[in-house]
Chain A
Amino acid sequence: MRRPHRIRFLPLLLVAALSCAPICGSESTPPDSIQNAEIAIKYIDGVERSPFQTEKAKAVALLFVTQDCPISNAYAPELARIHKEYSQQGFDIALVYVDPDVSDEAIRKHRSEYSLAEIPAIADRTHALVTQAGATITPEAVVALPDGTIAYRGRIDNGFPSLGQRRHNISQRDLRNALDAIADHKPVPVPRTQAVGCYVPSL
């Protein structure tokens, strides 16, 4: 919004983005379903689980975050509320810390400081879940149905129109809308949105 220089070197940026693909692991087409639903990863509590094995859950919602991104952090209270409300409705919700260099200790400290300790957390230092889910930004939510279909991927809500701009009145709560629709056995109204925040740090 009102940033006149937005596309001044977009073509160059594009070349940069694509040529980084082999080393930074981004894919040209984000996946529409989880390819390896059996993938197992150690949670921060030390227990290894398969986050996408959700026979008992309506869906799994992975909330991709970084511990040092201001936008990701600003969403902490809303992520905690979403976890509280929707885990009671049968959703499996987990935080995925995606900075390859983040320590377990830093994650514990972050969860405690931002009141996120109730949400199960995963350190995805190899980007195994990032790749499966097609996450590129933090904060970004990816909701996968039990059959592996990615029912929603994108922003939590429209609270940040762009980096550094905060909307006063949040009018689109896309993640909640997606979870509500799944709970009602309805199609997700807007299944893909553009997350605004910090790029997932490269491997």
Chain B
Amino acid sequence: MPRTFKYIVAATTLVASHFLHASNSPAAAPITFTEHVAPIVFENCASCHRPDEAAPFPLLSYRDVQKRAELILTVIDDGYMPPWHAQSKDFEFHGRRGLDPEEIETLVAWVDGGRLEGDPAKLPDLPQFTSGWQLGEPDLVVSMSDGYTLYAEGPDIYRNFAIPLNLDEDKWIQAIEFRPGNRAIVHHSLFYYDTTGEALAKDRSDPIPGYKTMGNGVERGGAIGGWAVGGIAKKLPEGLAYRLPKGSDLILSTHFHPSGKEETEVSTVGFYFSEKPPTQRFTAVQLPPAFGALARVNIPAGDPNYTKTDSFVLPVDVKAFGISSHAHYLGKRMNLSATLPDGTAKELLTIDDWDFSWQEQYQYKDYVALPAGTRLDAEVVWDNSVNNPNNPNDPPQRVRWGRESGDEMGSITLQMVAADPAEFGTLAQSIRSHVSEARKNARNARGRQNRLSNTIAPRIREQLITRFDTDKDGKLSAEEREAAQNALRRR
């Protein structure tokens, strides 16, 4: 373990005292695999670390775990496994993956004590894993019509696949279960519907299956959930459903990791419909709105902490149930907090190690009640420095808002119902107003910029070019124009 060798000197005393302590405490029962470790591994790791699941190797037996103990401790220490990124000290998430400190201590103590197997009679049974569809037989199953072939190596691929659903009536979706055909390469997939036929046309006009874009790639596509490695399909809370208009096509927006060999993917999707229409409607507030499109995201090269914030005050009592966040490679940190009318602050979501690879949609275990007058404060932080290993540019370059992977987006989305369904209209209207306000502000800011450039007399323009045209191409680039505008403002 080279990484730890540098700590050897400092730890010699610790180790010596550890052995001394161990030899002086014969009463302490040894930590064994069958009795202590297997329950933790079976409960927390085995659902993915078993044949035909996403994880690369099984963790189902003593030998499986014993020979990989160092790797297991390292990935737990790194926070890499179990994969889970959402934090909230105030609310619990549905299906949270993670180990308690005591469980980690048990694993460490087991390795420390020589990785003993223990009494085979004490080995617990493996959990009963459901094979096939986790939520039972779906109401509708569709698949990609052709396999998409991914190269052995190269940059990660984001690709959309449009699948016709041929629905002759509107449906209400309670859950969507996504089953990747090739778990070695599919990292996550976001689901949208498209009523315009645009996505299908794009898919069909591309000679290979799917079409290239970030996001859903269509103007009017509704988001209907998503799946990420390790994710478990879950139904919306009782009485809620996504509307799926008749004639919709499904869009799968899928992220692939090359595996080192050429692989092919055919994804299958199962829909679970509600027979009855939902008892109430739900909505979502996105801060800043439109994935940050109106927030004038413009990240200088090298900035390790570029930050955008947005706030929204709830007009009525709400119950929040789902939350997700979005950014591209430069995203660093996301936070959504709620300040209740009595001043109490609550943490709805923090992701302090944003990784584009792990776009998960989280549901709270229970509804989160937020009274009218609660202020939601969102903060999205990007790291455009060379120290961000995900930075696609070396050296870093200025990055603006956009849909492509080299552009940036950033926002946090909170899904909610009005506590009193009769107040849903007020809530939805207030959210729409927030978006129009953001749009107006963005327009005004653009207007100021345009007025600035239109009112500059030719002579001054020439002077500005002489002074600010640092790359000497005879015109002002966006960066140069900004420097010029800043200088003008200072005058």
Contacts and interface: CB of A to CB of B under 8 A. Distances in A.
A30 interface: yes
A53 interface: no
B111 A20 contact: yes
A4 B352 contact: yes
Contacts of A68: 56-57
Given A13-B74, A19-B15, A202-B69, A3 B79 contact: yes
B22 to A, nearest CB: 9
B77 A10 contact: yes
A27 B432 CA distance: 64
- Tell me whether chain B's interface is mostly helix, strand or loop, or mixed: loop
Interface stretch (B6-14, B126-134, B233-241, B361-369): B6-14
A9 B104 contact: yes
Contacts of A167: 389-390
Contact of B392 (A19, A113, A168, A194): A168
Contacts of A13: 4, 73-74, 77, 108
A121 B304 CA distance: 44
A47 interface: no
Interface string A1-27: 111111111111111111110011010
Interface string A134-177: 00100000000000000000000000011111111101000000
Contacts of A82: none
Interface in A78-107: 78, 99-101
Contacts of A114: 152, 260-261
Interface stretch (A34-42, A56-64, A69-77, A180-188): A69-77
Nearest to B395: A169
Interface in B67-114: 67-71, 73-75, 77-80, 104-105, 108, 111-114
Contacts of B155: 168
B29 interface: no
B339 interface: no
Nearest to B387: A1
Contacts of A199: 1, 68, 70-71, 74
A23 B115 CA distance: 9
A136 B2 contact: yes
A115 interface: yes
B156 interface: yes
Interface SS of chain A = loop
B56 A70 contact: yes
The 3 closest A-B pairs by CB, nearest first: A73-B260, A76-B260, A161-B389
Nearest to A197: B71
B18 interface: yes
B484 to A, nearest CB: 31
B230 to A, nearest CB: 12
A189 interface: no
Nearest to B261: A114
Nearest to B110: A16
A74 B259 contact: yes
Contacts of A166: 156, 257, 389
A95 B392 CA distance: 31
Contacts of A161: 389
A31 interface: no
B428 to A, nearest CB: 37
B11 A74 contact: no
A4 B445 CA distance: 37
Interface residues of B, number: 61
A117 interface: no
A53 B362 CA distance: 57
Contacts of B392: 168-169
B261 A76 contact: yes
Contacts of A77: 152-153, 260
Contacts of B321: none
A10 B1 CA distance: 12
Contacts of A101: 63, 67
11 contacts: A3-B78, A3-B80, A3-B353, A14-B1, A16-B70, A16-B112, A17-B4, A101-B63, A161-B389, A165-B355, A171-B394
Contacts of A9: 77, 104-105, 108
A155 to B, nearest CB: 11
Given A68-B57, A101-B63, 9 more contacts: A2-B332, A5-B79, A9-B105, A16-B69, A18-B11, A19-B113, A73-B261, A161-B389, A165-B389
A17 to B, nearest CB: 4
Which among A8, A14, A24, A69 has the greatest number of chain B C-beta atoms within 10 A? A14
Contacts of A15: 11, 14-15, 18, 108, 112
B436 to A, nearest CB: 36
A202 B80 CA distance: 21
B333 to A, nearest CB: 9
A78 B156 contact: no
A77 B38 CA distance: 36
Contacts of A17: 1, 4, 70
Contact of B71 (A7, A8, A100, A198): A198
Given A11-B11, A11-B14, A18-B11, A78 B389 contact: no
A29 B390 CA distance: 33
Contacts of B14: 11, 14-15
Contacts of B57: 68-69
B147 interface: no
Interface string B58-72: 000001001111110
A188 B329 CA distance: 34
B213 interface: no
Contacts of A3: 78-80, 353
A101 B14 CA distance: 34
B67 A202 contact: yes
Given A69-B56, A136-B2, A78 B153 contact: yes
Given A68-B56, A163-B75, A10 B105 contact: no
A1 B353 CA distance: 9
B391 interface: yes
B157 to A, nearest CB: 13
B357 interface: yes
